[in-house]
Amino acid sequence: MPRRLYDWVMRLSASPRAPFALAAIAFAESSFFPVPPDVLLAPMILARPGRVWGYAAICAGGSVIGGLLGYAIGYQLAPVGHWILSVTGHPGGDAPLRAAFAKWGVGVILLQGLLPIPYKLLTITSGLAHFTLWKFVGASIIVRSARFFGVAALVRRFGPAALPMIERRLVWVAGGLALLLVLVVAATRLLP
């Protein structure tokens, strides 16, 4: 991250406008914006550790509401959805997810929502596939809350030292959480 942008994010994270900016970035990232909200969430937690859970909730809520926009784009405006996927580096990225939706249903949202793939790919594709809206919303609430509350807990626990650790081990952390969710989903399907 260029130094000027880093300095701007750090200043913003301690300002009174930070929660609004966090909500806006989380909302936009779920449907069209390329920058994940973590870049603001972590510095905000470091600037005001007493507000850690409120910031995680803002981030998760903004992301789920923004996910509804992404879903609507895919559902109602398929050409726009395909265009957004194309310009954000995922042309044709909906094809494998659509096939996975047909086979695994809500488990795809639970798994993919934790992995370090752009959430907009999942939201727009859910709309393109005409996935059941209430299942999409429920799974999004679970997975986005797990992600942002997890990041918040790590940043709170380890402070500034958590940021490099999260970046280095993001795939392993996300993979472990995804495996846990898959096991929970499998158990609920197997139990009467």
Q: What are the tens digits of pLDDT across the range 114-138?
A: 665 678 888 888 898 888 899 899 9
Does residue 78 or residue 89 have the better pLDDT? 78
What is the reported pTM? 0.75
Contact 136, 97 (CB under 8 A): no
pLDDT value of residue 83? 83
Q: Burial level of 141, CB count in 10 A (0-12/13-18/19+)? A: middle
Question: What is the mean pLDDT of the segment spanning 176-189?
Answer: 57
Count: domains in the chain: 1
Domain that holds residue 39: 3-190
φ, ψ (nearest 5 deg) of residue 81? -60, -45
Least confident of 54-63, 114-123, 148-157, 161-170: 161-170
Question: What is the mean pLDDT of the segment spanning 18-35?
Answer: 87
- Go through the chain and tell me how many residues it has: 192
What gap in Å lies between CA 2 and CA 17, rounded to an integer?
A: 22
Residue 106 has pLDDT above 80, yes or no: no
Q: Please, what's the b/e burial string for 151-168 (b: 16 or more CB within 10 A of its CB; e: otherwise)?
A: bbebbbeeeeebbeebee
